[in-house]
Each structure stands twice: as structure tokens, then as C-alpha cells.
Structure 1
Amino acid sequence: MGTYNKGILGPFSGKVGTVVGANWRGKFIMRSLPVKTDRLPTNTQLLQREKFTLVSEFLTPMSPVITRYYGLNTGDKTRMNQAMSYHLKEAVTYVDPDFIIDFNKVQISKGDLIGVQNPTVAAVGSDSVKYNWLNNSGQGAAKATDQLVVVLYAPLSGLYYYLLTAAARVDESVTVVLPTFFNGLEVQSWITFASEDEKSYATSIYMGSVVVS
């Protein structure tokens, strides 16, 4: 792949002969057309594709959280790219014949802000899940106004629910009321803190599973 600024016909997009032109991150790039092959993928390649698809489909519904709070946008590697890389290496286990997500290793955010201290979670009825924590504002850059971010996931139904401003660090507890279709489902959840301006955020904590009642 190469970049270009000027050409005989100027910038272009689409296929021209044996190359493809496109605009990517404000730069004009050219790449050669892929070479067609009749070779069948190996078992290793098939497994890698399966693993990649699993992680991509798992993370995509959480992209509004990940694209805000996962690492830094540096160079060509977006926050989602970084999250994909981490989860492919650290948060997937192969249990023949399938790959599965290790929920306890999942991260919805990755940063240097002081995180949630001594958190607990419980289903409290009326389609609600309650989180408690200690107010540790004043530690490092932690502030009372830092916002609690919550992501819940019901594996059997593939349902997701998230809140970017569930509560403030100083509140020490919040009850999240879920849509009624979560009733009776087991949900996994993760929480983290982000500053009000979203410029700093903590690495998330896995809260385990509860059954919504």
C-alpha cells in the first residue's frame, strides 16, 4: 500500500487497472488488487477467522464505550483496533470445537484514571441491578464528579445495555433499571469511571454475573 498526493489524473477512488485508490484518514492511498487463489484455507486459518469474527461481533455493540475510553487514538491504531488486539490475545479461549469469550478478562475501557474501589453488584428486583462502591475521590486524579460507565451483556440472548453517565463517583451506589426483556436473563457486566470531559478514564472492572429478576 502506498500514499500519493498528485498523479496524472489527480486523486481517485475505486479500481483502475490493477490498483485500487481510496481516501483513508485524509490521505490518498493506492493498493494492488488481491490475487485470486484456488487454495483452500488451512484449519489454522479457518480457526483464526472464527476467532476474529467472534471478538468483532462481541465488541461491536460496545463500540460507543470502547471508542471513547479504550487507550488512545495513536497513529493508525484506533481505540477499537487496540481493543480487538487485546481481546484476540487475552480474552478468548478455545474449547473444542468453539472459541469462547473469557468474560473476566474483557475490558470495556483502558486508562490511567483511578478506578472503582471495592465494587459490588446485586440483582434487586423490578428488572434492576444495583452497584455499590467506595468514594475514593482525591486519590490521584480521581474526582467526585467522575462518571460511572456501565455495560451489561446477556450472552444467551445477545442483548447489550450500557450507560455512559450512570452515577458520579461520589454517589457510592446506583440502581440500573433494565428494559423488561432482560427479566429472567443472566447478565455479565463491567464498570469503569471516566472524567466529566472524557479526557481521562480508568481500566474497567469485571463484575461477574447476576440473574435479572
Structure 2
Amino acid sequence: MGRYKQGILGAFSGKVGNVVGSSINGIDYMKGLPRKSTKTPTLPQLMQRSRFGLMADFLRTLGGVVKVGFQSRKKGLTPYNAASSYNLEHAITGTYPNFVVDYPEVVYSRGNLLGLSDQEVAAAVAGELDFSWSNDAPVGGSGGTDKATIVVYNPAKDKYVVAQAAAARSAETSTVELPADFSAHRALGYSGR
């Protein structure tokens, strides 16, 4: 893959002949078309492809949340790639070919602010989840004005409910309404800032 600055024709996106142009994080790239391999994949390759596909499927719908939650990433790494990398390492369990997502270990937000502590989730009313936490914003930090984002995932339906900027950290509580088809299934709640 080659990086270029305003080549003969300037930046382009898409396929032109046997090269593909794209722009990632404002940097223009040009690469040759890939060739299909005729070699049989090795077991480690199959294992990595399986793990990667599982996590990609899980995070795909959370693109907007991950873009905000992993924005303070390493240079040259997109938020989605940073989230994938972290969760591939920490949130996949099992043995090949039976890898599964370890839902309690999934993280969609990492940054400079402290995570919410003493979190609790309760279903007080049908169709609603009440989230509560402690306001432990450091002195000189955000002061609790940073907003919590809450994600509820239903593995049986493979659906998410996302409440972005649901409440300020200082509010210490937020209620999320769930679709009616969530009521018969176990749902997992995640909150972050």
C-alpha cells in the first residue's frame, strides 16, 4: 500500500484499473488489488479469521458509539479498529471453532475519564431498565458533566438499544426504555462515559 500526496491526478476513491484509492483519517492511500490465495489456510489463520469475524459482527452495529468511545486512540488507528483490537484480546472466549463473545468483558469506551463505578442495573418496570452509579469524577476533571452512554444488548435477538448522552455522570441515574420484544429475553447493559 502506498501513501501519496496529490499525485498526477490528485486523490481518488475507488478502483481505477488494478489499483484502489481511499482516504483514511485524512491520509490518501493507493494499493493494488488483492489476489485470491490458492493456499489452504493454516489452523492459526482459520482461528484468527473466526475470532475476527465474530467480533466484527458484534461491533458492526455499534459503530457510532465506538467512534466516540474509542476516539482517544493510538495515532493511525481508527476508533473501530481500536475497539476491535481491544475486544479481540479481552472479550472472546472458547476454543476453535466454538468461539463466543464474553459479553461481560466487552468494552465500547476507553479514554482518559474514569469509568462509572458502583454500577447497578434493575428492571423496576416492564420494558425499562434503571441504571445507577456513583459520581466519582476527579477534582479538576470533568466535574461530573461528562455524559454517560448506555447500551443494552439482547443476544437472543442480536439487537441493541443505545442511549447516547443519556445522563450526566453527576445525575447518578438513568432509565432506558426497551422494545417490547426484549421482555422475554435476557439483556445485557453496558454504560460508559
- TM-score, length of structure 2 as denominator length: 0.86
Question: Per-residue deviation at 1:10?
Answer: 5.8
Tell me, what secondary structure is at the counterpart of 1:164? strand
Question: Per-residue deviation at 1:110?
Answer: 0.1
| Corresponding residue number in structure 2 for 1:199 | none
What is the aligned-residue identity percentage? 32
Tell me, what secondary structure is at the counterpart of 1:133? strand
Structure 1 unaligned regions, length at least 5 = 194-213
Distance 1:38 1:169, change over 3 A: closer
| Corresponding residue number in structure 2 for 1:23 | 22
Structure 2 unaligned regions, length at least 5 = none
**1:15-164 paired onto structure 2 within 5 Å:** 15-16=16-17, 19-25=18-24, 26-95=26-95, 97-137=97-137, 139-164=139-164
Tell me, what secondary structure is at the counterpart of 1:125? coil
Tell me, what secondary structure is at the counterpart of 1:160? strand
Please say which structure displays the higher CA radius of gyration.
1
- TM-score, length of structure 1 as denominator length: 0.79
Question: Per-residue deviation at 1:109?
Answer: 0.2
Q: Which has the higher contact order (CA 8 A, sep 6+)?
A: 1
Question: Per-residue deviation at 1:78?
Answer: 0.7
RMSD: 2.2
Distance 1:116 1:180, change over 3 A: same
The whole-number CA distance in structure 1 between the counterparts of 2:29 and 2:118 is 49
Residue by residue, what CA displacement relative to the aligned partner does 1:161-210 show, whole Å, maximum 9, x if unpaired? 111122222222222221111112101111112xxxxxxxxxxxxxxxxx
Question: Per-residue deviation at 1:31?
Answer: 2.1
Question: Per-residue deviation at 1:11?
Answer: 5.4
Which amino acid is 1:85 matched to?
Answer: S
- Kept in 1: contact 2:47–2:97 (CA 8 A): no
The size of the alignment, in residue pairs, is 190
**1:128-207 paired onto structure 2 within 5 Å:** 128-137=128-137, 139-193=139-193
Tell me, what secondary structure is at the counterpart of 2:166? coil
Which amino acid is 1:161 matched to?
Answer: V
